[in-house]
Amino acid sequence: MDAGRLSAPEVEQILRFQRERGLRFGESGRALGLLTEDDVRFALSLQFDYPYLAPESELSHELVAAFRPQDQTVEQLRSLRSQLMLRWFSIGTGHKGLTIVSPDTREGRSYLAANLAIVFSQMGERTLVVDADMRAPRQHLLFGLGQRSGLSDVLAGRADPLSMIADIPDLKDLAVLPAGTIPPNPQELLGRPAFSTLLEALGETFSVMIIDTPPAGACADAQTVAAHAGAALLVARQGTSSMPRVARLSQRLREFGVSLVGSVLNDT
């Protein structure tokens, strides 16, 4: 009622139907045509402090963890989250950053980074998505942030990091540091000690940082970012990715001293 989704007479109608049929309130409201599935999800999200996005949200519908939290894909993301908590985020102090890497384009790095960050935030972890793809960034598009300054501007000393971080109002405990201005020298910016210093500083505020990167086969940015973060999650797309290229990337990451905490076969 407070949200304007039901009137007082409609509530009384649902309650009468509920008593007569022995149903739950939400089931009764749907049976009467007074509530939609989204109305019920909205109420449950408030009752159980579990944020999600309504269908009319302007954020990208690629954010399946927020739009369709009961989807089987999201269950798989939750399983991945549990494995990462065991293998990286909970095994020692200072483990805050995880880089999402893959050898080629269109393998699902940005999709996975965004949705993985959402399921961490839904668990109550203060989570930050860092878009370190300063060549073809996507996180600002997924989260509806528009063109704005971000990571590149911070590393160039042109902006304060905290002022560049955007909280996502509809998704509690989630924030995004977009890539920012497309620079002429992304690899040099990411290779600077300032990037490690930035990650350490952000680790004081966020318990989980998921870092998106460009394809590792096209440039060395991803390996550089992973070396600063200390850990990487390797992504391959079913029916698309070259396994020899995936194997070479895995070897290069180890040569950089990166902990390869797992791999994901993306079939979406």
Domains and CATH numbers, the chain: 8-47 (no CATH), 64-266 (3.40.50.300)
Given a contact cutoff of 8 angstroms between Cβ atoms, the answer to whether 38 and 69 are in contact is no
Given a contact cutoff of 8 angstroms between Cβ atoms, the answer to whether 20 and 30 are in contact is no
Q: How far is CA 252 from the centre of its chain?
A: 25
Query: What single-letter DSSP state applies at residue 85?
Result: I
Per-residue pLDDT tens digits for 26-51: 999 999 999 998 888 888 877 877 77
- The amino acid that residue 49 corresponds to is D
pLDDT value for 45: 79
Q: Which residues pair with 74 in a beta bridge?
A: none
Q: Would you call 19 exposed, middle or buried from its count of C-beta atoms within 10 A (0-12, 13-18, 19+)? A: exposed
DSSP per-residue codes, 179-206 = --S--S-HHHHHHSHHHHHHHHHHTTT-
pLDDT tens-digit profile, the chain (268 residues): 888 899 999 999 999 999 999 999 999 999 999 999 888 888 887 787 777 787 788 899 999 999 988 899 999 999 999 999 998 998 766 789 999 999 999 999 999 999 999 999 999 999 999 999 999 999 999 999 999 999 999 999 999 999 999 999 889 899 999 999 999 999 999 999 999 999 999 999 999 999 999 999 999 999 999 999 999 999 999 999 999 999 999 999 999 999 999 999 998 7
Pairing state between β 127-131 and 208-212:
parallel
pLDDT value for 92: 64
What count of Cα atoms within 13 Å lies in the side-chain half-sphere of residue 199? 27
d(CA 241, CA 107): 7
d(CA 191, CA 193): 7
pLDDT value for 37: 86
- The amino acid that residue 112 corresponds to is L
Place of tokens 């839904």: 122
Per-residue pLDDT tens digits for 185-208: 999 999 999 999 999 999 999 999
What's the pTM value of the predicted model, to 2 decimals? 0.88
Place of tokens 């065991």: 86
Q: What are the phi and psi torsion angles at 222 (to 5°)?
A: -60, -45
**Cα angle, residue 139 at apex, residues 135 and 141 outer, rounded to 5°:** 100
d(CA 218, CA 15): 60
Six-digit token pair at 73?
């894909």
- The amino acid that residue 72 corresponds to is Q
Around Cβ 81, how many Cβ atoms within 10 Å? Answer: 21
Q: Where are the beta strands (DSSP E) in the chain?
A: 97-101, 127-131, 166-167, 174-177, 208-212, 231-237, 259-266
What count of Cα atoms within 13 Å lies in the side-chain half-sphere of residue 106? 5
d(CA 110, CA 212): 6
